[in-house]
Amino acid sequence: MSEHIVKSYDEQLELINSNLIIMGGLVESQIKNSIKALEDKDTSFAEEIISDDNKIDELEKDINELAYKIIAMRQPLANDLRTVISALSIANDLERMGDHATNIAKRVADVKVNLPDAPTLEIVRMGEDAQKMIKDVLDAFVQRSDKLAMNAWHYDVNIDDTYIGIYRDLLKIMSDDPDSVAGCSHLLSIAKNIERLGDYAQNIAEDIHFIITGSALEKK
C-alpha cells in the first residue's frame, strides 16, 4: 500500500484491511464449526454457533461506515478507490456467508429427525471443499495474490457439481423411502447453503482480481 501525505488516511485504509481479515477469520471459523456440528450431529454445539453471527454483522457495519467516510472525506483515486469500493462488496459477501453458516447451524440445532448417514457424509465433504475454497480466497486477499484468487474462483464449479449430485441422490432417497422426507429436506437446505458459500467466495475472488488488476473479471 502506498504512503500518503496524511498519515491518518493510511491508517483508515489499513483499518479497513485488518477488519476484513478479522471478519474473514470469524466467517471461516463459523463455517468450520457448522460443518463439524453437522458431522457430529451435535445440536448443542450448533446452538452455540448461532450466537456468534452478531460479531460478523457488527464488523460489516464498522467497515461500511469507515469506507463511506473515506469516500466522502478523502476522495480516493485509482487503487485506493478500487480497494475501498471492493471492501464494501467483500464485507457484504462475508456477512452473507456468515448468515449461511448460521443457517446450517440452525438446521442442525432444530433437527428432530434422523439424518441419513451417507448423504450427510457427502455434504460434510462438500462443506470441507467449500472451506478450502474460502481459505484460498482469504489468503488471496491477505497476500494480494491474483493467482490464488483465480484458483479459488475456478474451484466453485466443483462445489456446484457436488451439489447437483447430492440433490439428485436426496430426491431418489425420498422417492424410495417416504419416511426419509423430513431428514432429507433438512439436508437439502444445508447443501444449498454450502453451495451458496461457494458463490460468495467466488464473488470475493472477483473483487480481489479487480483490486489487483483494475479490471473486472469477465464470466464465461
Confidence at residue 74, expressed as pLDDT on a 0 to 100 scale: 79
Whether 93 maps to a domain, the answer reads yes
Whether 168 maps to a domain, the answer reads yes
Q: Provide the CATH number for the domain around residue 179.
A: 1.20.58.220
Confidence at residue 8, expressed as pLDDT on a 0 to 100 scale: 82
Q: Which residues of the chain have pLDDT under 50?
A: 1-5
Count of the separate structural domains present in the chain: 1
Q: Compute the distance between CA of residue 199 and CA of residue 58 in angstroms, rounded to an integer.
A: 23
User: How many helices, marked H, and strands, marked E, lie in the chain?
Assistant: 7, 0
Whether 148 maps to a domain, the answer reads yes
Confidence at residue 115, expressed as pLDDT on a 0 to 100 scale: 81
Whether 2 maps to a domain, the answer reads no
Confidence at residue 209, expressed as pLDDT on a 0 to 100 scale: 95
Whether 45 maps to a domain, the answer reads yes
Q: Compute the distance between CA of residue 147 and CA of residue 138 in angstroms, rounded to an integer.
A: 12
Q: Compute the distance between CA of residue 135 and CA of residue 124 in angstroms, rounded to an integer.
A: 16
pLDDT in tens, 14-73: 999 999 999 999 999 999 999 999 999 888 888 888 877 788 999 999 999 999 999 888
Confidence at residue 51, expressed as pLDDT on a 0 to 100 scale: 76
Confidence at residue 1, expressed as pLDDT on a 0 to 100 scale: 42
Residues 6+ apart with CB under 8 A from 66: 12, 15, 16, 19
Confidence at residue 5, expressed as pLDDT on a 0 to 100 scale: 46
Whether 218 maps to a domain, the answer reads no
3-state secondary structure of 38: helix
Whether 164 maps to a domain, the answer reads yes
Burial tier of 175 (Cβ tally within 10 Å: 0-12, 13-18, 19+): exposed
Neighbours of 191 (CB within 10 A): 25
Confidence at residue 16, expressed as pLDDT on a 0 to 100 scale: 93
Whether 18 maps to a domain, the answer reads yes
Which of 57, 36, 51, 54 shows the shortest CA–CA distance to 190? Answer: 36
Burial tier of 168 (Cβ tally within 10 Å: 0-12, 13-18, 19+): exposed
Confidence at residue 73, expressed as pLDDT on a 0 to 100 scale: 85
What residue numbers bound the domain in which 98 lies? 7-213
